[in-house]
Amino acid sequence: MPDNDTSAPEPTEDRAKEAAPSPKRRRGCLRWLVLIGLILIGGAAFYVNFWLYHPMGEGPAGPPVAAAPFEETWSERPVVLLGFGDSVIAGYGATSGKGVYDRLVKNPDDEFTDMQGISLSAVLPNLSENNLALSGSTSLEHLEILIPKIPKYSDETFGIVVATIGGNDIIHMYGRTPPREGAMYGATLKQAQPWIRNLEERLNTILDEIAERFPGGYHVFLANIYDPTDGIGDTVNAGLPAWPEGLKVLNAYNDIIQQTCTQRDDATLVDMHSAFQGHGIHSRQFWRSFYDADDPGYWYWDNLEDPNDRGYDALRRLFLNQMAEVLPERLQELRSVKKN
């Protein structure tokens, strides 16, 4: 029978030509693909540069220290510099001779020009050393382990105590164990409240115990606790487990440290927290309010817990500025009392 379908099929070649995109359309698609690729590459480069890249920087770090107070002897009495607390005072991660304690005692051979001759040895000719700081130690261990190691000094000896207390209480055990006193990582503020209150009592006990070891007089310079997240609290970006209320716990500890120093005549706060703000894992993020355009360097060592060499430089400057303000007058007062 005759085929009633009179429509003829289109040639295959003609259909292929109609289905294929025009050269103009192909060029447009290619431009979009290139643009998307550039955006992805740029985004990745931006993220790496401003979140993952942490250059330490070069040169001096931290506030300037006036040379004038260090050009005259503060006292010829026997003076001991007692290091107390955790790894920050122990100098963990620092190049030999460039931890905060070492730099306080004397200048390293390659000292920066602005700090040459500015150290405790320059103003205290009868200075001796005793650094008892223990890396990894908590405030509970400071009371139980370190305090018994402090000898009782003579009536002639004045004690300068430099201390960092409490940092390990907060960060241990990085969420690997349930939060507890002395290892609070991951705790809510409510959960940590009893441990925070205990710090206040323990800190005063530590300072009272130190007082008994220095019948000839002493003064404590106590640093508060820094924050490597620069106040943002994004511990995940630091490679740690999320801790939603971590900053609240840290701030509560720092409040106790500040209050203790304010309430006591024998202790001076060294505000390490404020000085290190903007030198943590977000130090290169120029859009942040804490960005330090003059020095966007990263001041922490590889373990995130301790300063690097530049961080230790900044910290010793903080200590020396407070010492220059407090110690000459304090030593003079004790000298006058002794004469009378």
pLDDT tens digits for 158-211? Answer: 999 999 999 999 999 999 999 999 999 999 999 999 999 999 999 999 999 999
Quick one: 203 and 319 in the same domain?
yes
Counted domains in the chain: 2
Quick one: 106 and 44 in the same domain?
no
Range list of H helices, 9-156 = 12-19, 23-47, 87-90, 100-105, 120-123, 139-141
Tokens read off for 84: 């107390």
Domain membership of residue 318 (yes or no) is yes
Quick one: 196 and 227 in the same domain?
yes
Q: What are the residues facing 267 on neighbouring strands?
A: 220
| Res. 48: pLDDT tops 80 | no
Quick one: 182 and 320 in the same domain?
yes
Quick one: 141 and 45 in the same domain?
no
| CA angle (75 as vertex; 94, 336 as ends), nearest 5 | 135
Quick one: 236 and 283 in the same domain?
yes
Domain membership of residue 178 (yes or no) is yes
Quick one: 81 and 47 in the same domain?
no
Quick one: 44 and 177 in the same domain?
no
Q: Pick the more confident residue, 90 or 26.
A: 90
Domain membership of residue 2 (yes or no) is no
Burial of residue 190 (number of CB atoms within 10 Å: 0-12, 13-18, 19+)? exposed
Quick one: 288 and 184 in the same domain?
yes
CA neighbours within 13 Å on the CB side: how many for 115?
28
| Res. 51: pLDDT tops 90 | no
Give the structural domain span for 234.
69-339
Of the candidates 222, 209, 238, 205, the residue with the CA atom closest to the CA atom of residue 166: 222
Domain membership of residue 77 (yes or no) is yes
Quick one: 91 and 182 in the same domain?
yes
Cα gap 75→158, rounded to integer Å:
10
DSSP state of 281: T
Domain membership of residue 321 (yes or no) is yes
pLDDT (average), residues 219-225: 98
CATH number of the CATH domain containing 100? 3.40.50.1110
For the question of whether the overall pTM of this predicted structure is more than 0.75, the answer is yes
Domain membership of residue 281 (yes or no) is yes
| Res. 26: pLDDT tops 80 | no
Question: Picking from 37-46, 55-64, 91-100, which range would have the lowest pLDDT averaged per residue?
Answer: 37-46
Quick one: 245 and 283 in the same domain?
yes
